[in-house]
Amino acid sequence: MSNKAFILICALVAAALIGLNPLLTNDYFFSAAYTVLLYVVLSTAWNILGGYTGYVNFGTAGFFAIGVYTSVALYKAFKAPLPLMIVAGTVVAGVAGIGVGYLTMRLRGHYFAIATLALAVMLFTFVINWDYAGGARGAYVIAPREAPFGLGHYIRFLYAIMVVLAAIAIAVARGIEHSKLGRGLAAIRDDELAAECAGVPTLRLKLISTAISGGLMGLAGTTFPLFISFVEPTSAFSLSYAVNAIAMPVIGGMNSWLGPLIGALLLGTVQQVVQVTISSAWNLLIVGVLLVLFVTLAPSGIMGWMRGRQRRGRSS
Amino acid sequence: MSSPAQAPAPLLRVAAVTKRFGGFVALDSVALDVYPGERVGLIGPNGSGKSTLVNCISGTLRHEGGRITFEGEDLTGMPAHRRIRRGLARSFQIPKPFASMTVLDNLRIPLLYAAGRHDGLKVSEAQSAAEAMEILASVGLAAKAGEMSGGLTQVDMRKLELARAIAAKPKLLIADEAMAGLSSSEVDDILQLLTSMKARGIAVIMIEHIMRAVMHFSERVAVLVAGRKIADGDPKTVIANPEVQKAYLGE
């Protein structure tokens, strides 16, 4: 399928999801769907660096928080309009991605993962001491009472925005997958030295990968202040972003755009249901158990498991 | 040192290259010239610095002293991916396939990223499949084009290493022990493949321990011992050299 056709399908699916708006009366559905879609963006973003390029990033929360706090700062400064927040947060997180990449890309494996975790912790410390954006006390970002386009409650508008952002993230991920860039990233993942010796400019491609991955993580955070109204560092840097952004692609499958999407829809929905029916404290425990199960029983995720079944089906 | 008279300018010139690892001198002022289309055998005992020299030439290691030039251009400080774009390819002693890709897709990487850069042409995705098939056919891997490269046999992995190097359209190929651990008939396969490079206009440096292959293949043989080049010239003369015999067989 060509990129154009795929983008068209993404747009149609997004339009259909946004079209759900008048059909559902319960506002809570949109709040839950917003969170699940946020995870679709985060895990798709993580997978560009983690799945395609083979570099495990534990600092998802850091990039997400860059998007969140760019919006907070812009709101504080001049009550910036939402589109500006979205673009600015993405760009700042993307630039941060290049910076992080440049500082850490000479590290491999565990060392890279540890460095990304350390950078998220440093950023957390910085934000705690950043009084202008609320510091440790937190900051209010008040969404308008009514959504534009006569959508009713503002969450319905944020849901529609997040549908579009998720569609963009997926289209970007798939576009990379089927491009020369994607082949170069896969070569780096398989064997970095062999890739370099086959003509792949490994450092430049890794920087492009961290920039796109970081930028999309920031993108996921840009609307979050309006969603949650009160932003404080522990919620913006929550462990669940870093853990979910890794767990969802691992559970779904890391080799294609579909894996993180399936993982995020599945795990995100389970978490939302558990949150309502049992308790929010159970969320990460369930992620942990599922992660252990998948890593031991189906290390290539749901996608890999299904491909394996197909292959066995053909040969028998 | 005897350099053949057919071509005045060397393709590759290694001049007084020195490489140290801490206090250990891995290469001590090594010089080596390779002329276009030439077949050079590089031999020496284990630990003599052969692979270090390959790494310095291909750009995966930085040498400390001396100069390496390719077609007259100084390679000092040039990253490996730009060296292969200029036509300087290598294969690895331990095969390094892109294991998540099919055999065909392995060849697409150098076709997309390296080939044609030195003559200013870019290869499109559609072109690259046809070209990759052609190269796979020439090394005898056409039937396995669709297989995952991680599951190949040893000899096929060696062939894939060479095919991937050929796909970069090099002017010089450095084959680092491409036959180690293979059976006698498999050695003949690879040997025939390396010998056929001349028809493609590719010069080859073959690093090898299998003397039968070295003698059959080489137009010239250079010998490294403990980081120094002790002989360089006609294969039969070099092998008869008492110093070389001492290094290989002991006294």
Measured between CA atoms, how close is A38 to chain B, in angstroms?
29
Residue A11 CB neighbour total at 10 angstroms: 14
- How far apart CA B88 and CA B95 sit, in angstroms, is 18
pLDDT digits (tens, 9 = 90+) for B67-115: 999 998 999 889 999 999 999 999 998 999 999 999 999 999 999 898 8
Could you tell me which of B157, B151, B231 has the C-alpha nearest to residue B190?
Answer: B157
Name the CA radius of gyration of chain A, rounded: 19
Q: Residues of A with CB below 8 A from B125's CB?
A: 180
Q: In this model, does residue B1 exceed pLDDT 50?
A: no
Question: Could A198 and B110 be called an inter-chain contact, meaning their C-beta atoms sit closer than 8 Å?
Answer: yes
- pLDDT values of chain A reduced to their tens digit, one per residue, 316 residues: 788 888 888 888 888 888 887 777 788 888 999 999 999 999 999 999 999 999 989 999 999 999 999 999 999 888 888 899 999 999 999 999 998 888 877 777 788 888 888 889 999 999 888 888 888 888 888 877 777 777 778 888 899 999 999 999 999 999 999 888 999 999 999 999 999 999 999 999 999 999 999 999 999 999 999 898 888 898 888 888 888 899 899 988 888 899 999 999 998 898 888 888 887 777 778 888 888 888 888 888 888 888 878 777 666 5
* B145 CA to centre of own chain: 23
pLDDT digits (tens, 9 = 90+) for B144-160: 988 899 899 988 999 99
Q: Residues of A with CB below 8 A from B84's CB?
A: 197-199
- How far apart CA A222 and CA B29 sit, in angstroms, is 58
Residues B212-225 have a mean pLDDT of 90
B121 pLDDT band (50/70/90 cuts)? low
The highest-confidence range among A131-135, B173-177, B185-189, B242-246, by mean pLDDT, is: B173-177
The length of chain B, given as a count of residues: 251
What chain B holds in terms of domains, given with CATH numbers, is 12-96+170-249 (3.40.50.300)
Could you tell me which of A99, A141, A161 has the C-alpha nearest to residue A235?
Answer: A141
What pLDDT does B8 receive?
A: 67
Bridge partners for B172 per DSSP: B88, B203
Q: Are A53 and A209 in contact (CB under 8 A)?
A: yes
Q: Which of A199, A203, A255 sits opposite B84 (nearest CB)?
A: A199
Backbone angles phi, psi at B6, to 5 degrees: -65, -30
Q: Residues of A with CB below 8 A from B98's CB?
A: 186-187, 190-191, 194-195
Q: Residues of B with CB below 8 A from A201's CB?
A: 79, 81-82, 113
* Residue that has been written with the tokens 């490996």 in this structure: B80
Reported pTM? 0.89
Closest chain A residue by Cα to residue B122? A180
Question: Could A184 and B113 be called an inter-chain contact, meaning their C-beta atoms sit closer than 8 Å?
Answer: yes
What pLDDT does B5 receive?
A: 52
- How far apart CA B169 and CA B167 sit, in angstroms, is 5
B123 pLDDT band (50/70/90 cuts)? low
Question: Could A190 and B164 be called an inter-chain contact, meaning their C-beta atoms sit closer than 8 Å?
Answer: no
What pLDDT does A34 receive?
A: 93
Q: Which of A186, A196, A201 sits opposite B101 (nearest CB)?
A: A186
Sign of the dihedral through C-alpha B240, B246, B247, B251 = positive
> Is the pLDDT higher at B131 or at A106?
B131
The 3 state secondary structure assigned to chain B is CCCCCCCCCCCEEEEEEEEEECCEEEEEEEEEEECCCCEEEEECCCCCCHHHHHHHHHCCCCCCEEEEEECCEECCCCCHHHHHHCCEEEECCCCCCCCCCEHHHHHHHHHHHCCCHHHCCCCCHHHHHHHHHHHHHHHCCHHHCCCEHHHCCHHHHHHHHHHHHHHCCCCEEEEECCCCCCCHHHHHHHHHHHHHHHHHCCEEEEECCCHHHHHHHCCEEEEEECCEEEEEECHHHHHHCHHHHHHHHCC
Question: Could B81 and A191 be called an inter-chain contact, meaning their C-beta atoms sit closer than 8 Å?
Answer: no
What pLDDT does A181 receive?
A: 93
Distance between first and last Cα of chain B = 25
